[in-house]
Structures are given as structure tokens and as C-alpha cells.
Amino acid sequence: MDTKITPVDELSFRQAMDELQTIVKLLESNTLELEDSLAQYERGVALLKSLKNRLSQASFKVESLMDELEVNEDDKQRDTTLS
């Protein structure tokens, strides 16, 4: 059985979340051998790390965009008062 595992970096956010949920359910089922459990756990940690990083980047981007919006609104007010 040759199943190709997609690298974490190539998964969309949703795909990574879905795979992590599947891994959690699988680990909770207690049906895996120790070696398989460790491999799944390792994959889950990699997925979680990637997801946290992506959320952090998205949060930073949103904050940056909000800051730009506030700056633009301040500029608009200044322009209005200078007219």
C-alpha cells in the first residue's frame, strides 16, 4: 500500500484542519499500534504548528490592514480640514 502523504506546506488551511481532526479521532480511538500512533502524533504536531503559524500570519495581516484603514481615515480628516 503506497499512500502519498501531502507535505503540510502544500495543504490548504481547511485541508490541514480536516486532517488534524481525523488524526485526533484516530488517536482517541486507541486502535493504532504504538509506532503508528507516534507517526500520527508527529504528523498532528506538524499540522498544528502550521495552522498556528498561518493564523498568526493572518492576524498580523488583518491588524496591518486595520492600521492602514485608520491612517487613511486620519488622512481624509486632515485633508478635509485643510480645504
Q: Note down pLDDT in tens along the chain; length 83 residues.
A: 447 899 999 999 999 999 999 999 999 999 999 999 999 999 999 999 999 999 999 999 999 999 888 876 555 555 555 55
Question: Cα(first)–Cα(last) distance of the chain, in Å?
Answer: 73
CATH code for the domain in which residue 36 is found: 1.10.287.1040
Tell me whether residue 59 is in a domain. yes
Tell me whether residue 1 is in a domain. no
Domain encompassing residue 44? 12-82
| 5 burial type by CB count under 10 A (0-12 exposed, 13-18 middle, 19+ buried) | exposed
Distances in whole angstroms, Cα of residue 13 to Cα of each of 7, 9, 16, 45: 13, 10, 5, 15
Domain count, the chain: 1
Tell me whether residue 71 is in a domain. yes
Q: What pLDDT, on the 0 to 100 scale, is given for residue 73?
A: 59
Tell me whether residue 2 is in a domain. no
- Give the pTM: 0.76
